[in-house]
Chains A and B, each alone.
Chain A
Amino acid sequence: DAGVIQSPRHEVTEMGQEVTLRCKPISGHNSLFWYRQTMMRGLELLIYFNNNVPIDDSGMPEDRFSAKMPNASFSTLKIQPSEPRDSAVYFCASSPRQIQETQYFGPGTRLLVL
């Protein structure tokens, strides 16, 4: 079985540009999570979806960040406009329906905003 798939794996962009990160969760999983990892703040939850519906977006830094899940097999995290402080590794994770189930992480997208 393929795990969580993220693309691109690396992204280098200039400040002010739009960045779109993509995630394909594990088939059959109905919860999807976006996390951000930085040296200063560690791993922090940005947003999560349950059955394609955003449930908790309290971790989204500001209006420049938006996330969508148009169907059960695809999600995007968009930053517009990007800023240097957005540089981080962005992880997508998915889990099955039951609340006690494990979250499985993708390989991450390493974003560098110049």
Chain B
Amino acid sequence: AQSVAQPEDQVNVAEGNPLTVKCTYSVSGNPYLFWYVQYPNRGLQFLLKYITGDNLVKGSYGFEAEFNKSQTSFHLKKPSALVSDSALYFCAVRDTGRRALTFGSGTRLQVQP
């Protein structure tokens, strides 16, 4: 079975500071890892994914994520947070045997001006 853990319900950061949203995963095979963002009353928007290759993945809106196989983590990062980054962020995993994604519980990011 595959699973994802997002240990923080909420992350608060000041505008201009770096941000990190944490994610750890468990799969039986090789993981495909994704980050999505959800703004209020909207669907999920794809940010970035890790399939294979470079452990540092760059995505939309200046976000990046680092895949760490030994720690089974895929933390989302951004060097300088914007107030407009405030939203709900979901980490998701899919192993090579399934098409469906398993989502984490979500982390609410609040960027203060």
Give the B-binding residues of A (Cβ under 8 A): 4, 31, 33, 42-45, 48, 50, 55-56, 91, 93, 95, 99-100, 102-108, 110
Residue from B51, B96, B99 within 8 A of A31 (CB atoms): B99
Bound state CA distance, A74 and B102, in angstroms? 24
Binary interface profile of B, 7-47, with partner A (CB < 8 Å = 1, else 0)? 00000000000000000000000001010100001111110
Are A105 and B49 in touch, CB under 8 angstroms?
Answer: no
Residue from A31, A44, A48, A91 within 8 A of B43 (CB atoms): A91
Are B90 and A43 in touch, CB under 8 angstroms?
Answer: yes
In this complex, the interface size class of chain B, counting residues with CB under 8 Å from chain A, is: 20 to 34
**What 4 additional pairs, Cβ within 8 angstroms, besides A42-B103, A56-B100?**
A43-B90, A50-B99, A99-B94, A100-B51
CB neighbours (8 Å) of B41 from chain A are 110
CB neighbours (8 Å) of B51 from chain A are 100
Chain A residue at minimum C-beta to C-beta distance from B51: A100
Q: How far does the Cβ of A56 sit from chain B's closest Cβ, in whole Å?
A: 6
Most buried by A among B41, B51, B100, B104: B100
Interface pairs (23), CB distance under 8 Å: A33-B100, A33-B101, A42-B104, A43-B44, A43-B90, A43-B106, A45-B100, A48-B99, A48-B100, A50-B99, A56-B98, A56-B99, A91-B43, A95-B99, A99-B94, A99-B96, A103-B34, A103-B101, A105-B43, A105-B44, A106-B43, A107-B43, A108-B43
Q: Evaluate whether A42 and B106 lie within 8 angstroms (CB atoms) in the complex, with A91-B43, A102-B49 already known.
A: yes
Q: Evaluate whether A43 and B43 lie within 8 angstroms (CB atoms) in the complex, with A100-B51, A102-B34 already known.
A: no
B105 close to chain A: CB less than 8 A? yes
* 5 nearest A-B residue pairs (beta carbon): A43-B103, A105-B43, A105-B44, A107-B43, A100-B51
CB neighbours (8 Å) of B43 from chain A are 4, 91, 105-108
Q: How far does the Cβ of A12 sit from chain B's closest Cβ, in whole Å?
A: 16
Are A100 and B44 in touch, CB under 8 angstroms?
Answer: no
